[in-house]
């Protein structure tokens, strides 16, 4: 039997029964422990995660950053690998992670970026900025996430951050309608987060930023090469970008700085 790495994998969940097995099973043969922190699933998430080999704990929802920090705090190893329930390690990632940890090579940085490829309703997005999105997912204790309402990030101040070619796959949506609803919630949270951090937006910010997203990701980064499936995905994100700045402008106009 191949020896497991001294690496703790952590995942936060709520009602992820259709995804959690794939995520956990990509981790159990590699990591010394897999911890799923559930916030009150009403489906079979907990049972399926345990059956797949994870240790499951409960924590009422604290918000994205604090929930992930709570999961990290449960890890017993010095190094942590964090995945979302809709993610899994791609082909070859097992051996690539083993190579990273060999001869203490992982110690060359405190945070390692993995490359995430998004899938949208059956289409793998290889272009448009979503085929190799660098995400910070392997890191050393006691690193934690900054407080944030959404799109949380690790506190990397003063730390060494390096990039690897290790692949994460990301199946981001169950349906286009559900995905649009999720992005609408994210737009509200992002607008609030930016407003409270002192950001403001003018009347033209929403169309300008939406147009820039289209130019950057669909045209210059070749998002159009992913076909109809890719366009459906980018259309959702163009709307998300527009809504984020529309809401921020409304807050800016309604309240004093």
Domain extent at residue 208: 176-254
Same domain, 83 and 140: yes
pLDDT of residue 243: 98
Same domain, 102 and 229: no
Same domain, 151 and 224: no
Spatial separation of the C-alpha atoms in residues 95 and 218, rounded to whole Å: 33
In total, how many domains does the chain have?
2
pLDDT of residue 17: 98
In tens digits, the chain (257 residues) has pLDDT values of 689 999 999 999 999 999 999 999 999 999 999 999 999 999 999 999 999 999 999 999 999 999 999 999 999 999 999 999 999 999 999 999 999 999 999 999 999 999 999 999 999 999 999 999 999 999 999 999 999 999 999 999 999 999 999 999 999 999 999 999 999 999 999 999 999 999 999 999 999 999 999 999 999 999 999 999 999 999 999 999 999 999 999 999 986 54
Same domain, 238 and 114: no
């Amino acid at each position: 039997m191949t020896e497991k790495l001294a690496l703790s994998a952590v995942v936060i969940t709520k009602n992820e029964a259709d995804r959690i097995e794939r995520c956990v099973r990509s981790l159990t043969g590699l990591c010394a422990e897999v911890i799923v922190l559930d916030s009150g699933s009403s489906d079979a998430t907990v049972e399926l995660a345990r059956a797949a080999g994870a240790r499951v704990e409960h924590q009422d929802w604290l918000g994205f950053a604090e929930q992930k920090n709570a999961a990290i705090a449960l890890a017993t190893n010095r190094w942590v690998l964090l995945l979302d329930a809709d993610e899994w390690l791609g082909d070859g990632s097992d051996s690539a992670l083993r190579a990273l940890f060999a001869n203490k090579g992982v110690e060359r940085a405190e945070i390692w970026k993995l490359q995430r490829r998004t899938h949208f309703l059956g289409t793998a997005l290889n272009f448009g900025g979503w085929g190799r999105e660098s995400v910070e997912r392997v890191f050393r204790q006691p690193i934690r996430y900054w407080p944030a309402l959404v799109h949380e990030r690790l506190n990397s101040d003063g730390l060494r951050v390096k990039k690897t070619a290790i692949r994460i796959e990301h199946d981001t949506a169950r349906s286009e309608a559900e995905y649009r609803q999720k992005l609408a919630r994210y737009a509200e949270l992002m607008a609030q987060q930016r407003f409270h951090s002192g950001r403001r937006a003018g009347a033209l910010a929403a169309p300008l930023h939406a147009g820039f997203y289209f130019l950057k990701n669909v045209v210059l980064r070749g998002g159009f090469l992913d076909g109809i499936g890719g366009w459906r995905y980018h259309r959702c994100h163009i709307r998300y970008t527009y809504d984020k700045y529309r809401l921020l402008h409304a807050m800016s106009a309604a309240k004093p700085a």
